[in-house]
Amino acid sequence: MKIVVLDGYTLNPGDNPWTELEQLGELTVHERTDPAQVVARALPGQVLLTNKAPVNAQSIADLPSLRYIGVLATGHNIVDGRAAAARGVPVTNVPEYGTRSVAQFVFALLLELCHRVGHHDQAVHQGEWARRGDFSFWDSPLVELAGKTLAVVGFGRIGRRVGELGRAFGMEVLAVDPQRGPPERAGAPPQERAYAAPSYAPFAWASLPEACARADVLSLNCALTAENRNLVNAALLAAMKPSAFLINAARGPLVDEAALAAALNAGALAGAALDVVAEEPIRADNPLLSARNCLLTPHIAWATLEARRRLMHEAAENLRAFLAGGVRNRVN
């Protein structure tokens, strides 16, 4: 069995070996693959693994030996699942590997907005503390989370974990999700359930308009769909408190970036922190780069070594199940 990885660098930049996948077949790993290179590189393989390299309907049609596509991520919109299904090719993802890491990062972003730790560290190193002469100084508002309202849009595994952490900080948690079910998929195997949020912190369901009006912090933790693209638009931002923070560690296209930049620059929102943008890597003309009180990180919420090791293991388990005649985490 020939296995081709189209874009393996972010999963294994050198610290996360491919050993488990190497045991399942003849493995070829490309660090990065441009869209125009997908067919040529995938052609020798029966198994194709991708993270962000797109596999569209034409590519699938041009790969006669293709038997299986594994997405090395949770989001799987990078693959045309319908075209693959029409060919009888299963597409799998890894739905449960980064819950704890992503939720932790949401609060890393939020706490940076609350305390501007990096900014104050830089000020100290530049001599500002010594120049001030006081035992303490700060030059941006400091915010305590206890008693504030956290609205979580998308209350699946990650969203529920974010809610639990919010409760641990003493926040009121509002959950926004059209599917109000448990965080685990029905019938999910134990190895998936092991990474789910371990408990159910108190929360209240809310509509999106209600949550936006009440939120001191709005955290986006939902999947990207055709229906929620530009979910955070000018109208939604206008409904939020001027003192509120927006956090996006989900998908960039959930946010109308021009509208968010305008709201930040007008002081209609106190701050935003985003780990994702609509086009990645970020373009030099992205309006968020020059927006006031906007923190940007390079899509790293998922990337702890612990999470990447789980991702590698689960991807191998998905393929192992397929090779044994079964199916695991199929999304098409």
Instruction: Please identify every residue annotated as catalytic.
Output: 251, 280, 299
Look-up: residue for tokens 């003493």?
170
Residue 332 CA, chain-centre distance (Å), reads 21
Q: Which runs of consecutive H residues, i.e. helices, occur in 187-242? A: 190-193, 208-214, 234-239
In the DSSP assignment, the letter for residue 283 is: P
Q: Coil, strand, or helix at residue 278?
A: coil
Rounded Cα distance between 99 and 162, Å, is 9
**Angle, in degrees to the nearest 10, between helices 99-115 and 157-168:** 40
Residues 6+ apart with CB under 8 A from 331: 71, 76, 81, 91, 92, 93
Q: Find, among 168, 250, 155, the residue nearest to 208 by Cα.
A: 155
Q: Find, among 320, 323, 282, the residue nearest to 299 by Cα.
A: 282
